[in-house]
Amino acid sequence: MSAAAASPTGAIQRSSNSSPEASQQSRRRNILLIEDDPGLQQYVRTVFDRDQYSLTVCGTGAEGLSKLQHIRPDLVLLDLFLHESDGMEVLRQIKTAVPTLKVLVLSCSHDSRFSVNAMRAGARDVLLKPFQRAELLELVEQVLGPHDALAEPNQIRLDEQSMFIFASQCMREIRYQCSLVARVDIPVLVLGDSGTGKEVLAKYIHKTSPRSNRMFLKVNCAAMPGDLLESELFGYEQGAFTGANRSKPGKFELCNHGTIFLDEIGEMPPSLQAKLLHVLQDGTFSRLGGRSPVKVDVRVIAATNIDIKAAIAQKKFREDLFYRLNGFTLNLPPLRNRKEEIPIVLQYFVARLADEFGREAPPISDQLVQACMDYHWPGNLRELENFVKRYIVLGDEGHMIAELLNASPHAGTSSMSRPSQTMTSTPNPGDLKKLVRGLKEDAELEAIARALEKTNWNRKQAAMDLRISYKALLYKIKQYGIQPPQDAPSA
């Protein structure tokens, strides 16, 4: 994976090592090893080239903590199971003393709970013993970067296959967390606004996990009714219901030894949540109409854009299922909080979509990039992708810049059109009933439009937020003639 920097027009430029910082980066890296096994101490000494690394060895946790007062290492290698002290407690003390210090944990236990606890305590990664020289060097370079690399703060990395881009500090940290959790076989919960790339993140975790050569399946929990969703996930036996003429395996069976991505998990009916909880606990379930249990080994990655804590408080989401899914949580920030990525994402979408549409890629001027940077993208990456599609089809850069500049600060940014007669017609001031009714309609329209924009046109969630029925919301949308944006969900 190559490092690159974005020009003002979004072009990817290779970094060079001709600056003074490059020579500084090539200095020897200081590594502190806290390990009480003399044999492993000697082995690690043979791993690191003395021209590139300076290694300090400590046999106890107390000695290692004392060394931190005199030296500032680039990296600490810490044995998790020290004889004279608790390696986890030493890790916490290191992170308390120097919060930014990178720590790699060496562990002899294959129990994933130790690895998860170490990462939550601040470890950058966990290396299981026994390990090979190449494994240790590779992991050290992943954490510190290649020895001759230029460490620029505005680095951008692009994984072409999964379209995973990170230029901001928050996204670099998320990618790093993904690389850690991918190796540990625990459920992952991905939170974030609609369109931020939760599915892309799930695919990235799968591709970098030991299950990468197995199947990855996505199931949208909001796209079908509860009964249909249950048969889709767990399958059914012949005769289980009318029309079940033959047995059919569900997604969990098809995805055995692979990864299943449960998108919009917050929309899953509570009755089905209980069955999913059982699968997560012991890996068994029964098909609809089946009598014998089915055993599977499936990694679950779930995602939602709802407020999980509010859903739990309202009894719409099981608390025990949340804690079972929450083996590790990743929070994807909205695009407006990582705007430094917009130029490179814009260039990526233009190149990819122009190729898909069989058209020549239109130019990306500084003015277009600046307009995109100034816009706040409530629909996130999905909205930006649809914007680029329109640009490629129309080929009119001026029109696209005007589209962004003319977007209103509120609902106009989501392309919702409001009927002008409702907003502009003013009743006779002498007719109090008409005046009150007009004000009420204006306020109601504004509340509905804001709720739809907030949920990216998730009508079910908007109805819940407004505390009205789903049918009532559909009636109001039709009554006021509110039009959805082009990238809004169809249901």
What confidence score (pLDDT) does residue 392 get?
A: 92
Residue 143 sits in the same domain as residue 192: no
413 is a domain residue = no
Which residue spans within 310-413 are E strands per DSSP?
329-332
The phi, psi pair for 482, rounded to 5°, reads -75, 125
Looking at 93, 116, 147, the residue that finishes a domain is 147
What domain range includes position 200?
A: 188-332
Say if pTM beats, i.e. exceeds, 0.75. Answer: no
- Give the residue from 166, 186, 172, 104 showing the smallest Cα distance to 138: 104
Residue 210 sits in the same domain as residue 307: yes
What confidence score (pLDDT) does residue 440 get?
A: 62
Among 126-135, 183-192, 422-431, which range has the highest average pLDDT?
183-192
3-state secondary structure at position 329? strand
Between residues 54 and 3, which one has the greater pLDDT?
A: 54
pLDDT digits (tens, 9 = 90+) for 204-244: 899 888 898 888 999 999 888 888 898 889 988 888 787 77
Question: How far is 373 from 343, CA to CA, in rounded Å?
Answer: 8
Which residue spans within 170-251 are E strands per DSSP?
188-192, 216-220
Q: Is the dihedral of CA 88, 323, 266, 455 positive or negative?
A: negative
461 is a domain residue = yes
Report the pLDDT averaged over residues 386-393: 92
Looking at 98, 132, 147, the residue that finishes a domain is 147
Taking each helix axis from N to C terminus, what angle separates 432-454 and 470-480, rounded to the nearest 10 degrees?
Answer: 110
Looking at 270, 303, 332, the residue that finishes a domain is 332
Residue 204 sits in the same domain as residue 320: yes
Look at the chain and report how many structural domains it folds into: 3
**CATH number for the domain including 143?**
3.40.50.2300
Percentage of the residues of the chain whose pLDDT score is greater than 90: 30
pLDDT score of 112 more than 80: no
pLDDT score of 155 more than 90: no
Report the pLDDT averaged over residues 444-458: 83
Residue 123 sits in the same domain as residue 219: no
Q: Which residues of 398-420 are buried (b: 16+ CB within 10 A; e: fewer)?
A: eebbebbeebeeebebbbbebee
Quickly state the pLDDT bin for 416 (edges 50, 70, 90). very low
What confidence score (pLDDT) does residue 174 get?
A: 87
- The average confidence (pLDDT) of the chain is 80
130 cis-preceded (ω within 30 degrees of 0): yes
Percentage of the residues of the chain whose pLDDT score is greater than 70: 81
Q: Which residues of 185-206 are buried (b: 16+ CB within 10 A; e: fewer)?
A: eebbbbbbbbbbbbbbbbbbbb
Between residues 279 and 146, which one has the greater pLDDT?
A: 279
List the structure tokens of 19. Answer: 């600056």
Quickly state the pLDDT bin for 248 (edges 50, 70, 90). confident
368 is a domain residue = no
What confidence score (pLDDT) does residue 65 get?
A: 92
Minimum mean pLDDT among 48-57, 313-322, 437-446: which range?
437-446
Residue 40 sits in the same domain as residue 126: yes
Report the pLDDT averaged over residues 96-124: 83
Residue 39 sits in the same domain as residue 98: yes
3-state secondary structure at position 188? strand
Those residues with Cβ within 8 angstroms of residue 252's Cβ, 6 or more apart along the chain or in another chain: 233, 234, 235, 260, 279, 285, 294, 296, 298
pLDDT score of 2 more than 90: no
Q: Are strands 216-220 and 53-58 parallel, antiparallel or unpaired?
A: unpaired
32 is a domain residue = yes
176 is a domain residue = no
* Neighbouring-strand partners of residue 30: 54
Contact criterion met (CB below 8 Å) for 466 and 451: yes
**CATH number for the domain including 444?**
1.10.10
344 is a domain residue = no
Residue 264 sits in the same domain as residue 196: yes
Residue 273 sits in the same domain as residue 219: yes
pLDDT digits (tens, 9 = 90+) for 32-77: 999 999 999 999 998 888 888 999 999 999 999 999 888 889 999 9
Quickly state the pLDDT bin for 120 (edges 50, 70, 90). confident
20 is a domain residue = no
Burial of 303 (0-12, 13-18, 19+ CB in 10 A): buried
Residue 108 sits in the same domain as residue 206: no
Q: How many CB atoms lie within 10 A of CB 224?
A: 14
pLDDT score of 203 more than 50: yes
Between residues 252 and 480, which one has the greater pLDDT?
A: 252
433 is a domain residue = yes
Among 18-27, 115-124, 256-265, which range has the highest average pLDDT?
256-265
pLDDT score of 19 more than 80: no
**CATH number for the domain including 325?**
3.40.50.300
Residue 129 sits in the same domain as residue 40: yes
Minimum mean pLDDT among 13-17, 130-134, 171-175: which range?
13-17
Residue 48 sits in the same domain as residue 137: yes
Residue 33 sits in the same domain as residue 137: yes
